[in-house]
Amino acid sequence: MTYIPKINDYVVWNRGYNGADEGWIYFVDEEYVTIETGVKPRPLCECSNKGQRHKMIHTLLVCYNHQWKDLTYIKNRESIYELS
């Protein structure tokens, strides 16, 4: 059975010679998904003091649908607000 990625799934992407990356599925589309591999607080600056909505910097990888065969499902979470 072929794995179909869903938001909030934790996956390992085996990229062969280029190694492996792991993280949470952050966005899903028919053509690609994004995998969140890191999050860190946005540094304070003039811009962040003006009611900026995004308080974190997210590192995302793009994985196209022909590469989904290289994804291994590990677990999922109910919400992005769960700590794990």
- The range of the structural domain enclosing residue 28 comes to 9-74
Residue 82 lies in a domain: no
Residue 1 lies in a domain: no
Residue 79 lies in a domain: no
Question: What would the two tokens of residue 73 be?
Answer: 């499902």
* High-pLDDT (> 90) share of the chain, %: 64
Residue 68 lies in a domain: yes
Number of folded domains in the chain?
A: 1
Question: How many Å apart are CA 57 and CA 75, to the nearest integer?
Answer: 23
Residue 2 lies in a domain: no
Residue 3 lies in a domain: no
Which among 27, 17, 10 has a CA at the least distance from the CA of 63? 27
Computed over every residue of the chain, the mean pLDDT equals: 87
Question: How many Å apart are CA 71 and CA 76, to the nearest integer?
Answer: 14
For the stretch 26-56, pLDDT in tens is 999 999 999 999 999 887 776 555 666 677 8
